Structure 1
Amino acid sequence: MRHCLFALLILCTSSCKADPADQAAASRARLPNAESSLAVRLCHAALDRTAATVRYDGAYVRISYPGGDVPADTGVCTDVVIRSYRALGHDLQKLVHEDMKRHFSAYPKNWGLAKPDTNIDHRRVPNLQTFFKRQGASLPATQNPADYLPGDLITCTVAGRLPHIAIVVPAPDGGETPWIVHNIGSGPKLENRLFEFPLTGHYRWLPE
């Protein structure tokens, strides 16, 4: 399944030697005080994901609908995003499926499907890119760190062809360049890799 990058195609390197829990706490401490803000809550949900033990597994799995999920100890990059939004009450499985049912022709045909599939559609990066763009959430993908706010989403291409997605959070070291929470092969991690790969999208999706 090519909805995200495969674990064996890239080595996961740590952004620094600090304890992951300490890094997450430092990132949280740099969030705005507006705890009711969806962007802030999304960052907290993403940082919560970094405490989970998740084996990278992109296999096709039949799941329930709505609110379905693959086993909690497995997942890929899209599952970090899906689970973070779901913690705030926003079910991307349902939302993407409903939009695909109404506008199937607007979505990529990379997988040869003739109709939507609730088991996998929301777990594919190109579909999420299309959904966020259709929601009016697309922003320019620049190289300016100041353009990326906590709770933003970025997509990029790894190894020249593999789509990837991540959530932007504050840099725990206080640096100007934000960090990201993502699963690039060894479970959800907080890392300083915002500009490491060619960016293909920048989104700010904060539904009511």
Structure 2
Amino acid sequence: MLRSIYVLLCFGAFITAGCSQEQKTAATKPSGVSEIVNAARTQIGKTVEYDPAYVGLKYPNGDIDISKGVCTDVVIRALRKARKIDLQKLVHEDMRANFSKYPKIWGLRRPDKNIDHRRVPNLQTLFKRKGWSLPVTKKKEDYKPGDLVTCTVAGRLPHIMIVSDVVDSDGTPMIIHNIGSGAREEARLFEFPLTGHYRVRK
């Protein structure tokens, strides 16, 4: 059961290798700090586990314990704190009205307010429907603080990250995400094949 729930959420619990926060020693911070970035960064040190278990949530503004979560929870918490955007409510309402527009990966016949917003493909669908999509490029200058970026890990596992206001030594933005060991800020923007680029417009 837990394995199937793992597949339902965004992924990456097994991928803990790669860049660490020590790499920020060579990074610099450009002007124009995004409130979304700040809200995401406050989760570092608080969200310390990757836990994809299905949990019943209150509605709206439901959340699991801050100590754990998956990649989508970093985004959910950041947008809720920074912009008062409740992705749980937005996804649930849009799925109720437009269920056929959303992926059928999980075999559901109706929306589930406890889990739908915690799935990367559903967030991608919502973002596109809201007009938040931007071109996916390999140009570092195209990615601004607070942008949301999706990618594929291990060839098929969807993942989502928030672009940081900190840049690496070559000027490539770092990202804030949870890919296995809690919320972290790392230099991994172009490490995985990118599948989506979004900018929040309320």
TM-score normalised by L of structure 2: 0.90
Distance 1:174 1:11 in 2: 22
Which residue is 2:146 aligned to? 151
Distance across 1 between alignment mates of 2:145 and 2:101: 29
Given the alignment of the two structures, is residue 4 of structure 1 paired with residue 1 of structure 2, yes or no? no
Partner residue in 1 for 2:80 = 86
The CA distance in 2 between the partners of 1:195 and 1:172, in whole Å, is: 13
Task: Name the residue aligned to 1:36.
Answer: none
The runs of at least 4 consecutive aligned structure 1 residues that moved more than 2 Å come to: 11-18, 170-175
**Deviation at residue 194 of structure 1 after TM alignment:** 0.3
Give the conservation status (yes or no) of the 8 Å contact 1:96–1:122.
yes
TM-score by length of 1: 0.87
- How far residue 174 of structure 1 moved from its aligned partner, in angstroms, is 5.4
Give structure 2 stretches of 5+ with no counterpart.
none
Shift of 1:118: 0.2
C-alpha distance after superposition, 1:70-98 (max 9, x if no partner): 12211000000000011121110001111
**Deviation digits for residues 124-176 of structure 1 (CA, Å, limit 9, x no counterpart):** 00000000000001111110111111110100000011000000012344542
Which residue type is aligned with residue 140 of structure 2?
A: P
1:36-84 deviation line (CA, Å, top 9, x unaligned): xxxx111111111223142110011111100111122110000000000
- Report the CA distance shift for 1:31/1:78 in structure 2 as closer, same or farther (over 3 A): farther
For the 8 Å contact 2:19–2:188, the answer to whether it is kept is no
**Corresponding residue of 1:137:** 132
Candidates 37, 48, 54, aligned match of 2:42:
48
What is the SS of the residue equivalent to 2:42? helix
Which secondary structure state, in structure 1, belongs to the residue aligned with residue 166 of structure 2? Answer: coil
Which position in structure 2 is the counterpart of 1:37? Answer: none
Alpha-carbon distance, 1:16 to partner: 5.7
Among all aligned residue pairs of Structure 1 and Structure 2, give the percentage whose two residues are the same amino acid: 56
Q: Distance in 2 between matches of 1:181 and 1:6?
A: 14
Alignment-derived partner of residue 110 in structure 1: 105
- One-letter amino acid matched to 1:152: D
Q: In structure 2, the residue corresponding to 1:7 is in which secondary structure?
A: coil
**Distance of 1:168 and 1:95 partners within structure 2:** 22
Query: Does the CA-based 8 Å contact 1:171-1:192 persist in structure 2?
Result: no
Report if the CA contact (8 A) 1:97-1:118 is conserved: yes
* Mapped pair 1:71 → 2:65: yes
SS at match of 1:164: strand
Q: Distance in 1 between matches of 2:128 and 2:164?
A: 21
Equivalent residue number for residue 189 of structure 1: 184
Paired residues of 2:12 and 2:153 also in contact (CA < 8 A): no
Q: 1:121 aligns with which of 116, 122, 141?
A: 116
Counting matched residue pairs gives: 195
* Residue identity in the other structure for 2:17: C
RMSD across aligned positions (CA): 1.9
Aligned pair partner of 1:14 in 16, 19, 38: 19
DSSP-derived class of the 1:87 partner: helix
